[in-house]
Amino acid sequence: MFLPTTRAEMTQLGWEEADVIIVTGDSYIDSPFIGAAVIGKILHQAGYRVGIIAQPDITSPADITRLGEPRLFWGVTGGSVDSMVANYTSLKKKRRSDDYTPGGLNTRRPDRAAIKYTNLIRQYFKGTAPIVLGGMEASLRRVAHYDYWDDRIRGSVLIDAKADYLIYGMGEKAITELAGALASKSAVKSIRGLCRVANEAEINELRGEYLELPSLEQVVASGDSFTTMFKQFYVNNDPITAKGLFQKHDTRYLVQNPPALPLSQAELDDVYAMPYERAQHPYYQRLGKAKALETIKFSIQTHRGCYGECNFCAIAVHEGRTVQWRSEASILAEARRLTEYTDFTGYIRDIGGPTANMYGFECAQKLKRGACADKRCLSPGVCPTLKADHSRQISLLNKLRRIDGVKKVFVASGIRYDMVLSDKQHGEPYLKEVIRHHVSGQMKVAPEHSEPRILKAMGKPGIESLLKFKAEFDRISANAGKKQFLTYYLIAAHPGCTAADMRKLKQFISRNLRINPEQVQIFLPAPSTWSSVMYHTGKDPFTGKPIFVEKDLKNKEGQKEIVTGRDAPHQPPKRATKTTDRSFVRKH
């Protein structure tokens, strides 16, 4: 069932009031891919009465007041995408479209939505129930962070919004614990995955147990202090090893409890077994269809988290560096449910996660002791302790395509080719399986650049593995009698990258990949990423050495045009590839 979004629906359910009202920057799509829907369903399953208000008009009380006031709390999220990233391009131009808004026009999501929605609630509900922030925007802005659009360090969104609590990361456990605590009027201060505001007296009780970050005043004044702060923040994101954190903001303190523990596989399976409508709520569909539904309705998420840790990506900060995967039985059951929809045509649009081929294996040491503080799983090379193993995914794909009513299952999420090559036993069989049965003419990979210095700044593997993978892809495709090609994600104007580097990239693409990209992403410094630290400070945060940062918008666009320009040298008359410019959620 849909969660109610109107007073009439609440009346039909026999509710006089809701326990929780979720306010979101997306249209209400009841799907396991939409965070507000997942959290709403989790709370509903736990016995709470949950309503949803999607994309309320911030100039009027009509939307925000229509469900009344909740008994326990308001849940506020900017939506599936940070509202500033959703509203503006890398060149700070207003986006015309929004896949999560009815009709596709970018007209309903306000800038800094978490702040605007909190202010809207307080405007019409004085002394209201607690307001709890969550979702991507809150998660990535929970401590002091660099904001590209203001070009300055901003404080925690919890304090800026004057909300009561903030749930960060994947919030299923934290939100149910918080709801239970508020319902029983018990303490909430120790809930993992929760941020709150404290005074000096409370902080004195935490000293020694929690780690103090450099204050907001210090990180605003000094780039080196900001780098130190971010390093401490980043390494304390692992649920096994993390300490709680606190950071002074003027006379108050932000307190971040350690992250919530990961869901067990059974708990993760339960999240996806809930009865989602996989549709847009009729109240909002009458305003127009949300384009996102075209992709996610008949797609399946197999896992969450990412150990790729690309420096420009925030998935590691939001979903975590430990990959959690669903059972094969859970995924197959979801695929069978898809075949029961009258508009299902036999095609599963995507089977994957942040990176398609991270399903089914993790580092055994990480699962026991937490993520390494001094090294990464995939950079500068695949760690031998990780032991990439694609056997579970081969088995899963093989069984999915044999389900009655399923014609084809596409692997549309990007693939980490370095992991495929590192799996000496199952890497090639996996690639054969995908090429022969799960590719729609093209496979997505993300080299991002060709120059070693830039790839190091990005946290990406070298081009040697890309070329070896391309040769394997071409060979297997030819043997299978299929004319298929690779689609390459590329980035311009990342910290460290100059126009000369882009000319070298152009030459590499033309000579080795034989394509002419029509669209290349211009780097976007998203909150709480290593690359945004580089962009703000002009230094490599790992070495302390200066790094070139292109900040002129025309020059950024010029870097892109070096690669996309039709009159550039070494141009092959071949096909094009496209990318997105929402780098903070860039997968793989």
pLDDT tens-digit map of 161-186: 999 999 999 999 999 999 999 999 99
Strand ranges for 152-297 from DSSP E: 152-154, 165-167, 194-198, 211-212, 245-249, 252-256, 279-280
Annotated ligand binding at 383? The verdict is no
Annotated ligand binding at 310? The verdict is yes
Letter string b/e over residues 14-45, b meaning 16 or more CB atoms within 10 A of that residue's CB: ebeebbbbbbbbbbbbbbbbbbbbbbbbbbbe
Strand ranges for 477-541 from DSSP E: 485-492, 521-522
Res 583: pLDDT: 35
Pairing mode of beta strands 279-280, 29-30? antiparallel
Res 571: pLDDT: 38
Annotated ligand binding at 306? The verdict is yes
516 or 511: whose pLDDT is higher? 511
Query: What's the fold here for domain 298-585?
Result: pyruvate-formate lyase- activating enzyme (3.80.30)
Q: How far apart, in whole angstroms, are the C-alpha atoms of residue 383 and residue 388?
A: 9
% of residues, the chain, pLDDT over 90: 93
pLDDT tens-digit map of 336-359: 999 999 999 999 999 999 999 999
Strand ranges for 539-588 from DSSP E: none
Mean pLDDT, all residues of the chain: 94
Res 517: pLDDT: 83
pLDDT tens-digit map of 113-170: 999 999 999 999 999 999 999 999 999 999 999 999 999 999 999 999 999 999 999 9
Cα 236 to Cα 262, 263, 370: the distances in Å are 15, 19, 10
Copy the structure tokens of residue 181: 């605590």
> Which residues have C-beta within 8 Å of that of residue 281, sequence separation ≥ 6?
2, 5, 27, 28, 29, 30, 52, 54
Spans of all domains in the chain: 7-256, 298-585
Domain 7-256 classification at class level: alpha beta
Question: pLDDT band at residue 585, thresholds of 50, 70 and 90?
Answer: very low
Res 272: pLDDT: 98
Cα 385 to Cα 375, 378, 392: the distances in Å are 12, 11, 18
Q: Are 493 and 522 in contact (CB under 8 A)?
A: yes
The model's pTM is 0.94
